[in-house]
Amino acid sequence: MHIIAIANQKGGCGKTTTAINLAAELGRREQRVLLMDMDPQGHASLGLGIGERDMPGLYEVFSDEMSLHEVVLSDVAQGVDLVPANIALAAVEPLLTNQPGRERQLLELTEPLNELYDYILIDCPPSLGLLSINALRTATQVLAPVEPGVYALEGIRQLRDIVSLLEEKYQVDLPIAAVLTMFDGHTRFAQTITREIREQLPVALCGVQIRHTVRARESAYLGKPLCDYAPASTAAGDYRRLAGEILAASNKPTETLMDRGIYLAREESLEEPSMSQTSEKPVRRMIVLTFSDLECTRLQLAGDFNDWIPDQNVETRNVNGHWQKVFTAEPGVYEYRLLVDGKWQADPTNPCEIPNELGGINSLLQVPVHH
């Protein structure tokens, strides 16, 4: 089981939006997901349509009034259960302060859930108090939403320092990945800030970035995840790809794929940067996919990187009977399919796959940020 703490002590950087939409996307991909609302403001609960303020939640569990099982609400979205939060949770920190083992209360509580879920996502409050420490102590990885802005790096450095302390104290490995949220590359300022963050970020950065859209606020207001309220919105697609990236990182085959992306890009050792670059744009990488045993007279490629238009911006080579497809893409995770003699299919040479909305299978390709 994977336990992801969605943390950043900076308020309003997209933690709750990421928690809700990542949970919903993982749930749609047949993962069993538990979303824990650890913010006394209860925004994750509200954003999933759980509006009653006095719904029992983690406070009741921490204070031994109820068991964790008793407060779990089933199927608040497809595949997603929720541990709600209410304002009483704000009283947990003083309650925990005097208890021995106060940093591992949540860890102990969640142990019996290991068999029940594939993913537990914890929506952390905007502070690094005992609630967040408990979440980080329980987590197997940290996802830090980062809104490109002036103090963004400062917040991430503090988070990294706290995580390093916990790693040392408890002898655990707790990787942090940041994801850019509310991304709007239209202004020069946004481009400059984003470039600075990319260059100076002290932790790994997800390939996907979540774009700014008014639909995000609307969907929170209506208590629905984006995939239900506005599935065609930019951010809905971005969260879909983020879920793909996280699933891919949790499953072994991706490592091979990542290697493959790196290997192929290196093998060609193509111009880097490979397209005329303005300094604001992330570097595009040249990707070469080779299909050795594919017998057909026509092979086309379509995916997120070319708006699913077969062979748009893709060069085809046939080297000694082996097909090659060559294209450029920015770092990120892409879904794609092949058209083999006019028939759609997933890439038979790629073990990393994901179900698509039409009941078929797409292949996943990761283009890494760094070599």
Contact positions vs Mg ion (CB under 5 A): 15-16, 43
Nearer to ligand ADP by C-beta: 17 or 254?
17
Q: How many other C-beta atoms can be found within 10 angstroms of the C-beta atom of residue 135?
A: 24
State how far the alpha carbon of 271 is from the alpha carbons of 152, 155, 280, 284, 328, in Å.
32, 35, 18, 10, 11
CA angle 135, 181, 329 (to 5 degrees): 120
Do the beta carbons of residue 79 and residue 27 sit within 8 Å? yes
- 251-272 burial: b if 16+ Cβ within 10 Å, else e: eeebeebbebbbebbeeeebee
Cβ 342 to ligand ADP shortest distance, Å: 38
- What residue 367 binds from ligand ADP, Mg ion, none (CB within 5 to 8 A, per partner kind)? none
In angstroms, what is the minimal distance from the CB of 261 to ligand ADP? Answer: 26
**Cα three-residue angle 203-328-270, rounded to 5 degrees:** 90
Tokens of 206: 């997800």
Name which of ligand ADP, Mg ion, none residue 337 binds, using a CB cut-off of 5 to 8 Å depending on partner kind: none
Judged by beta carbon distances under 5 to 8 A according to partner kind, the member of Mg ion, ligand ADP, none in contact with residue 328 is none
Please report, as ranges, the residues that interact with ligand ADP according to CB under 6 A.
11-17, 43, 126, 181-182, 210, 212-213, 216-217, 220, 235
Min dist CB 54 to Mg ion, Å, is 20
* Shortest CB 226 distance to Mg ion, Å: 16
Q: Which is nearer to ligand ADP, 12 or 237 (CB)?
A: 12
Q: Which residues of 14-31 are buried (b: 16+ CB within 10 A; e: fewer)?
A: bbbbbbbbbbbbbbbbeb
Cβ 79 to ligand ADP, closest distance in Å? 21
- Could you tell me the smallest distance in angstroms from the CB atom of residue 283 to ligand ADP? 24
List the single partner that 166 binds among ligand ADP, Mg ion, none, CB under 5 to 8 Å by kind.
none
Q: How many CB atoms lie within 10 A of CB 195?
A: 15
Residue nearest to Mg ion (CB): 16
Report the partner that residue 216 touches, choosing among ligand ADP, Mg ion, none (CB closer than 5 to 8 A by kind): ligand ADP
Cα–Cα distance measured from residue 183 to residue 190, given in angstroms and rounded to the nearest whole number: 8
**Residue closer to ligand ADP (CB basis): 129 or 351:** 129
CB nearer ligand ADP, residue 13 or residue 246: 13
Q: Which is nearer to ligand ADP, 138 or 213 (CB)?
A: 213
Nearer to ligand ADP, 69 or 217 (CB): 217
What is the chain's length?
Answer: 371
